[in-house]
Chains A and B, each alone.
Chain A
Amino acid sequence: MKKILVCIKRVVDYNVRVRVKPDESGVMLDGLKMSVNPFDEIALEEALRIKERGTNAEVVAVSIGVADTQQQLRTALAMGADRAILVQTDQPIEPLTAAQTILAVVRKENPDLVLLGKQAIDDDANQTGQMLAALWDRPQATYASKLELDGAKATVTREVDAGLETIEVDLPAVVSVDLRLNEPRYVKLPDIMKAKKKPLDVVSLESLGVAPAVWLKAVKTQPPAQRQKGVMVKDVAELVDALKKKGLI
């Protein structure tokens, strides 16, 4: 294991509830707290643990996004990534374009493993890892809750609807991570200082030969249907009664 590439997406922090713009053109993002996508943080933590387990793999964080995405990459460097690459663009990037872009980085970097979150909590698409694996013609292990490396192979336990599934993949491979793989470390102040000196390369989509496409047109964005506020009952007898009346138990 010489090199691990970790994909990082800048997203609205998971504690923030987004609101739809009155003109339905999208969601209001101005001034909202932005963070590393929580699943990507778990992916990075796993890469760091593999490094610290004695493999000494180089951990490279890569992101695609606006100039301010440097903040999230600095967080990744403070957590312990060795260097970072920002593919800077102001365009919205759909998963297929993201996969094509990461593939271009993969071709330059030749990692043994690509780790990324199973989904980003903004568009909840759950596509990029699988698309990257397809374009790269390599294995995918999605929704990982356990990852064991053994030479040129990895054994991955996946969270699936029926429970847990274990697969074995040849490396290099793409592993998309689920919530229970690990608990990411907290960043300490000295690490933030150190991270400022770590290399962060900024490149353009054009330099990677990627032309961002608008594959899907967002026609309008609306708030979800609201549920009516219900009633409070005073005790268990009343609750059971109400449920029985509705034919629910």
Chain B
Amino acid sequence: MSKILILGEHDGKTLNPSTHKCVTCAKAIAGAEITVLVLGADTAAVAAQAASIHGVHHVLRVDRPENAHPLAATFAPQIAALAPAYTHVFGPSTSFGKDLTPRVAALLGVPQVSDLMAVEGAHRFRRPIYAGNAIVTVEADAARILVATVRVASFEAAAATGGSAAVASRTLDVVLPTHTRYVGSRSGSTDRPDLQTAARVVSGGRALASAENFKLLYDLADKIGAAVGASRAAVDAGYAPNEMQVGQTGKIISPEVYIAFGISGAIQHLTGIKDARTIVAVNKDPEAPIFEVADLGLVGDLFQVVPEISRILGA
């Protein structure tokens, strides 16, 4: 039987929806027994949230002051100490998971499968390569622990309620390194929905031409309750912060609707939006490659189109 350990992602207060998506992926493995692990300084609140996720059987807490920030060098040896009791270790394909899971795998001496997008069996999965231009089916050795990241855009979040897992606290006799220290962070947190889980995303490219002009998109986003994304070109030019980048090397998202303004549609960008239910493109170039994948396309100047949409939608 498969015993799956999911590395819960959280900020000390709230469990990240990436954890719920990992649970959905784990549930796709027949008969899986699912444990969510939360490491932190005080995980009481997030452990309770994990315990109520539909489909979770156990929650493990490892609380110690060194776990206040999710440093891979600190977390990995603790996870590696717990892993031998499991057949699978899953983390989300977020910056938290991508940083952490390979370190766990290497400590265990096992390979990792990155970005699981579909489960075909307990040790057989599909994953994208070449910026999503090919999908490979891989099979891992069932005799080893399988470490993987779950491509969060490929799975719906498991319901946050309906579960009643038992929560257990563990103390681990693991010596932690002191060579890696957290200094600080900056996040442009806004009241807008989170880009990775938003149902609606409005996004801008190089054509926006300034950070100032991005306000047009923020205004529209606020009207329709959307998150705001950007192309790499827009981020590189300083029009938008890095956490807004969508694409192969930014965020891979799967909103209900993605509305792209002045984005050409480079393969690296399209990789990030292929799972959107509906793609809308506004571009002044009728030949722009984004129109190849757009469900709805409009040839036009975004500086006229965006204000007009806002006007039609009213105050």
Contact = CB atoms under 8 A, between A and B. Distances in A.
Interface of A: 12, 14, 17-20, 27, 94-96, 99, 118-119, 121-135, 137-143, 145, 155, 158-170, 173, 178-180, 215-224, 227-237, 239-240, 242-243, 246, 248-249
Interface string B291-303: 1111111111000
Nearest to B73: A139
B185 interface: yes
Given A95-B111, A155-B183, A161-B243, A231 B296 contact: yes
Contacts of B187: 162-164
Contact of B180 (A96, A163, A167, A233): A167
B287 interface: no
Contacts of A220: 136-137
B200 interface: yes
Given A96-B106, A167-B183, A239-B298, A161 B94 contact: yes
Given A165-B185, A231-B296, A123 B129 contact: yes
Contact of B140 (A162, A170, A215, A228): A215
16 contacts: A124-B128, A126-B114, A130-B101, A131-B105, A134-B102, A143-B99, A162-B185, A162-B189, A163-B185, A169-B181, A180-B236, A215-B111, A230-B295, A232-B297, A237-B312, A248-B256
Interface residues of B, number: 88
B216 to A, nearest CB: 14
A27 B132 CA distance: 12
Given A216-B140, A223-B134, A224-B134, 17 more contacts: A27-B133, A27-B134, A118-B249, A124-B115, A135-B106, A139-B180, A143-B95, A163-B189, A165-B185, A217-B139, A220-B137, A222-B136, A224-B132, A230-B294, A236-B312, A243-B280, A248-B200
A161 B196 contact: yes
Contacts of B110: 96, 215
Contacts of A248: 200, 256-257, 278
Nearest to B223: A249
Contacts of A229: 292
B46 interface: no
Contact of A221 (B95, B134, B140, B184): B134
Nearest to A246: B278
Contacts of A137: 177
A121 B131 contact: yes
Interface in B161-210: 177, 179-189, 196, 200
A166 B236 contact: no
B305 interface: yes
A12 B236 contact: no
Given A124-B115, A219-B137, A249-B257, A164 B99 contact: no
A213 to B, nearest CB: 8
Given A27-B130, A160-B185, A131 B106 contact: yes
A18 to B, nearest CB: 5
B158 interface: no
B297 to A, nearest CB: 5
Interface string B213-240: 0000000000010000000100110000
Quick one: which of B98, B241, B313 has the most chain A CB within 10 A? B98
Quick one: which of B180, B182, B294 has the most chain A CB within 10 A? B180
A130 B103 contact: yes
B129 A230 contact: no
Nearest to A231: B296
Contacts of A249: 200, 224, 257, 313
Quick one: which of A125, A133, A137, A141 has the most chain B CB within 10 A? A125
A229 B142 CA distance: 41
Nearest to A168: B181
B130 A124 contact: yes
A237 B186 CA distance: 40
B293 to A, nearest CB: 5
A178 B248 CA distance: 12
Interface string B242-279: 11000011010000110000000001100000100011
B102 A239 contact: no
Contacts of B251: 161
